[in-house]
Structure 1
Amino acid sequence: MADTTTPASSYSYPLPSFVRFLINPKRLKLGYHYLISHALHFTLLPLLAASAARLAGLTSAELLQIRDGLRLHLVPVVACSFAAAFLAAVYLMKQPRPVYLLDFACFKPAAALKCSREFFVEHSMSTGIFTDDNLAFQKRILERSGLGQSTYFPEAMYKRPPKLCMAEAREEAEMVMFGAVDELLEKTGVKPKDIDILIVNCSLFNPTPSLSAMIINHYKLRGNIQSFNLGGMGCSAGLISIDLAKQLLQVHRNANALVVSTENITLNWYFGNDRSMLVPNCLFRVGCAAVMLTNRRSARRRAKYQLIHTVRTHNGADNRSYGCVFQKEDSEGKVGVSLSKDLMSVAGEALKTNITTLGPLVLPLSEQLLFFLTLVSRRAFRWRRIQPYIPDFKLAFEHFCVHAGGRAVLDELEKRLGLAEGHMEASRMTLYRFGNTSSSSLWYELAYTEAKGRMKKGDRTWQIAFGSGFKCNSAVWHALRTIDPKQEEKNPWTDEIHAFPVQVPRVETIH
């Protein structure tokens, strides 16, 4: 008979429940993070306790001896005190001026301009331009895009045939920009004459006079206003405008800066059959955001946020990155924006470059240490089997506003950053309700977070956007007060926030 005795080494002994509780990977990570984050406290507290005990044990004679020593060295002590005060004053003067966000406004078009999927398909068929295969392709894109039934088209698209001309494009620009700025001025109480800096960004529509001149003329802004009009910079231009405003507010004292971010649909509809150029037709919709920034310290009491960091990275030196989003003519001479199949991988590389710069500015020491050790292990010791460490940005931010460029973009960012569905809710719901509004999408997402009543005092928000070129830009905001959604009457989500979030099905990407 075969020996059925099991070797002693093969027995498995169950671990006690408290041991299993302690060695849980998530709890170990949290314990490590807490230990590293509070390492300074753990080091200083024993030293302070020892110093306090030493001082408490001093005799009267020893205390008198210390006092006499200070009297003998009064001049050096006073000189050192003045030097320390002087250096502290110089340090404070050299610090950049704080930049506050007073408020922002997102334009919400009239209900008559809502564009359902059925209208989009019927409208495309009515032009008689697209082939049957490409009509079916656009329909599949719409069904899988993450867009809902209530996005908006410009008025020119509802005319039969569509009236796509410069005059209609100007009307669209005036409608969205003036609508957003009017609402912002009402919310902030800032008078047009008190605006010192104006920055407008619109990638594809750049008329003469410029869009910034259009705003100056309409609101009769001052003649010495610092005015800028940014074009051709893609969906990340909104954060470029914020960064430019920040730089200008470091130079101009007691100034208000108005930033207007939009895109124009009327003159940029593609009437051809190149599939790489048909995707933008399905994704881009009408939208605009206006933001009021200031460096006036007295405004802190009523401001919503303080701008902490802006990080801009540009991979345009690489030909693949440069050409992945490209405005050009197709084989028939029709102009459109072509999206390369490399877009997702290019966006991933741009994101990696950006978070490498942003990480040391915002991540806790525990995450920076893990990232550094992994990097050293892979490069110095050539341990290639160790996977690159992706920092846990959830430890640095409470809210994430990822540019709602499309469902595939949001899926890729969620995967690469290790975010949960809740972190992506604002981005997905903005894509569903308003579509890809280009550079203004980040503000619709922030408005969603406010409308849900989730923005609390001290919360940190990360806005991240991608744009042609190829660029990846970030902005970090610190909430100065808790936002009460009941007081946000002008929020574009207010009258329908109760219906969100909605379930958006996830499907395979179309090629």
Structure 2
Amino acid sequence: MNSPPPLARGLMAVYRRVVDNILAVVAVPVAAAALVAAARFGPPEELAGRLGEVRPAHLFLAAFVPAAAATVYLMLRPRAVYLVDYACFRTASNCRVPFSTFLEHAKQVPVVLNERSIRFMTKLLERSGLGEETCLPPAHHYIPPYKYCTIDAARGEVDLVVFSTLDDLFAKTGVSPGAIDIVVANCSLFCPTPSLVDMIINRYGLRSDVRSVHLSGMGCSAGLISVGLARNLLQVAPEGTHALVVSTETITPNYYVGSERAMLLPNCLFRIGGAAALLSNSPAKARFRLKHVVRTLTGAQDNAYTCVFQQEDDSGNVGINLNKDLMTIAGNALKANITAMGPLVLPASEQLLFALSFIARKVLSGKFKPYIPDFRTAFDHFCIHAGGRAVIDELQRSLKLSDEQVEASRMALHRFGNTSSSSLWYELAYIEAKGRMRRGDRVWMIGFGSGFKCNSAAWECIAPAADAQGPWATSIHRYPVDIPDVLKH
């Protein structure tokens, strides 16, 4: 990325300083003018005498109306929502699948996975950005793996991932299961009866009046949808309400055994993982404040609706088809999402430049190059869904982010693979494990999912973690790792 010359950087810094502090720039002269005007009235005794001539009713209205307006505003504004803490599933070494193991198991699938498919998967793994320590659920370690992907095995994956993660979360927060008022869980491809939230309620003996929702079929962006839903419920709930958000993808029953290349991609990219977050509308013990959630849905367009599609191939094998136009559709969804997020988070200087660019393009019939807002002025950390190397590359280019700003996403992909809706929490854990989070820092989470959706959330750090090792406890000392250029480009 080419940096502008020093003079241009200096002028831009002055411009931002002036525009971002425009209220102070205007307020100082106005206050001075008010003092000068007051001085013209004469000594304080004369000014007090003139105020005494004002009717009491007018003085009452002058004081009552602003106070009443402020009271109504404070009563009607939505409650603030906070993140008390979060936890991620800690993968065990016995679930690790090096590339050689993954390919060896794939070769044991019947003739459907021919040598051509194996070569394709080998090349894909080499370019994926995944490392040698990613993990698959126990059922995928059998030979052949597809024979053991039963519903009981899928429930076993939920037991392993979700319950161990919730145990960690309850231990970290000191909040008992009986204090949970709302449960929102998302798992796209595994929707058993009873549901995932029912399994959680049964395991931890939650109260009979707990509000519970299970979101399915929403893909990798479902984690932020769950956060948004929990926020909406918390904003109308009594103060002190707790909401539990659980994000995972149970991949045990979703091993594709066909030869369609577009449907082999999920086999190579998706790995076991999960996260749980405790939200509240009380700031007590909170570590982050949720500032904004912005959702963008492009499913009204046929190509966007079908770009991530569960279907059967010609042989009747079920899998997820990732369309070749996926990155283009994701880029368009991202543009729409940042257009909605920009006015909420960008400083005035960036919004003014964007507005001037928009007007110039309209006046000059599109001949003027559009201005891409610098979101680095609004956020200190970026958590981009670790859906794959191409996803991270595209967002880094579009948002003009540095390698360090996308480091958390690349390293989460390398260490854990694509863990679907929980990947953003692994990235946040990476930033904290590296000791980079500070009080007041702003975090932008960006997720993509089937439908097609682009969802984002803005957080503000209240208190960095005292012990931030989490899922990175055994590996953070080895990161970041160098990713060969063949993988990055």
Q: TM-score range by the shorter chain?
A: over 0.9
Matches within 5 A, 1:38-187: 38-53=21-36, 55=38, 59-60=42-43, 63-73=44-54, 74-129=56-111, 130-162=113-145, 163-187=148-172
Moved over 6 A (4+): none
Q: Distance in 2 between matches of 1:508 and 1:464?
A: 22
Letter of the aligned partner of 1:29 in structure 2? M
In structure 2, the partner of 1:218 is 203
Shift, 1:253, TM fit:
1.0
- Secondary structure of the structure 1 residue equivalent to 2:190: coil
The residue correspondences of 1:444-483 to structure 2 (distance < 5 A) are 444-483=426-465
Tell me what 2:483 maps to: 504
Residue 378 (structure 1) shift: 1.3
Q: Which amino acid aligns with 2:68?
A: F
Which segment drifts farther, 493-502 or 236-245?
493-502
CA 1:180/1:508 → structure 2, altered by over 3 Å: closer, same or farther?
closer
State the SS of the aligned residue for 1:372.
helix
1:495 deviates by 3.0
Match of 1:36 in 2: 19
Amino acid at match of 1:292: L
2:305 counterpart of 1:319: no
How much does 1:240 deviate?
0.2
1:396 to 366, 378, 387: 378
> What is aligned with 1:488?
468
Deviation at 1:43, TM superposition (A): 1.8
The residue identity in structure 1 corresponding to 2:279 is L
1: CA distance between counterparts of 2:7 and 2:316?
61
Which residue identity does 1:276 align to in structure 2? Answer: A
| Aligned mates of 1:376, 1:506 — CA distance in 2 | 40
Question: Which residue number in structure 1 is paired with residue 179 of structure 2?
Answer: 194
CA contact (8 A) 2:128 2:487 kept: no
Pairing partner for 1:369 from 329, 347, 352: 352
In 2, distance between residues paired with 1:479 and 1:133? 49
Secondary structure of 1:390 counterpart: coil
Name 2:322's counterpart in structure 1. 339
Q: By how many angstroms is 1:339 displaced?
A: 0.6
Would the alpha carbon gap of residues 498 and 508 (structure 1) be closer, same or farther in structure 2, given more than 3 Å must change?
A: closer
1:496 is displaced (CA, Å) by 2.1
Asked if 1:270 corresponds to 2:256, the answer is: yes
TM-score by length of 2: 0.95
Measured in 2, the distance between the counterparts of 1:174 and 1:339 equals: 29
Structure 2: distance between partners of 1:502 and 1:25:
34
**Would the aligned equivalents of 2:78 and 2:236 in 1 still touch at CA under 8 Å?**
no
Deviation at 1:41, TM superposition (A): 1.4
2:125 maps to amino acid: L
Q: Distance in 2 between matches of 1:241 and 1:126?
A: 38
Tell me the secondary structure at the aligned position of residue 341 of structure 1. coil
The residue type paired with residue 144 of structure 1 is R
Percent of matched pairs sharing the same residue? 49
> How far apart in 2 are the matches of 1:53 and 1:373?
36
**1:117 to partner: Cα distance:** 1.0
When the two structures are superposed, what TM-score results if normalisation uses the length of structure 1?
0.91
Amino acid at match of 1:266: T
* 2:186–2:223 Cα contact (<8 Å) kept: yes
Equivalent in the alignment of 1:11: none
For residue 423 of structure 1, give the secondary structure of its aligned residue in structure 2.
coil
Aligned match of 1:350: 333
Q: Is 2:402 aligned against 1:423?
A: no
Match of residue 405, structure 1, among 387, 398, 403: 387
> How far does the alpha carbon of each residue in 1:41-67 deviate from its partner, in whole angstroms, 9 at most, with x for none?
12221222343455567643xx22221
3-state SS of paired residue (1:465): strand
Which amino acid in 2 is paired with 1:327?
Q
Q: What is the aligned partner in structure 2 of residue 380 from structure 1?
A: 363
Rounded to whole Å, the distance in 2 between the matches of 1:494 and 1:177 is 19
CA distance in 1, matches of 2:69, 2:90: 51
| Structure 1 residue 396, shift from structure 2 partner | 0.3
Asked if the contact 1:456–1:483 (Cα under 8 Å) also holds between the matched residues in 2, the reply is no
TM-fit CA distance, 1:369: 1.1
Residues 148/405 of structure 1: CA separation in 2 closer, same or farther (3 Å cut): same
Name the CA shift for 1:253/1:145 in 2 (closer, same or farther; >3 Å): same
Q: Alpha carbon RMSD of aligned pairs, Å?
A: 1.7
Q: CA deviation at 1:150?
A: 0.4
CA distance 1:160–1:381, change in 2 (3 Å)? closer
Alignment correspondent of 2:396: 414
Q: Offset at 1:509?
A: 8.9
Distance in 2, Cα, partners of 1:208 & 1:22: 62
SS at match of 1:176: helix
**SS of the residue aligned with 1:238?**
helix
Structure 2's unaligned 5+ residue stretches are: none
Are the equivalent residues in 2 in contact too, given 1:144–1:506 (CA < 8 A)?
Answer: no
Mapped contact 2:234–2:280 kept (Cα < 8 A)? yes
**Does the alignment pair 1:237 with 2:222?**
yes
Larger Cα-atom Rg: 1
Q: 1:251 aligned to 224, 231, 236, which one?
A: 236
Report if aligned partners of 2:262, 2:321 keep a CA contact under 8 Å in 1. Answer: yes
Residue type of the alignment partner of 1:48: A
Report Cα offsets for 1:386-424 as digits up to 9, x if no partner.
222111000000000000000011001101111111110
Instruction: Please state if 1:280 is matched with 2:241.
Output: no
- Comparing 33-42 with 116-125, greater Cα deviation is found at 33-42
Gaps of 5+ in 1: 1-20
**Corresponding residue to 1:228 among 209, 213, 223:** 213
Point out the more displaced range, 266-275 or 497-506.
Answer: 497-506
For 2:334, the aligned partner's letter is: L
Deviations 1:299-337 (A, max 9, x none): 1xx211000000001000111111110000000000000
Deviations 1:71-130 (CA, angstroms, capped at 9, x unpaired): 232331123212211111101111110101000000012110011111111111122441
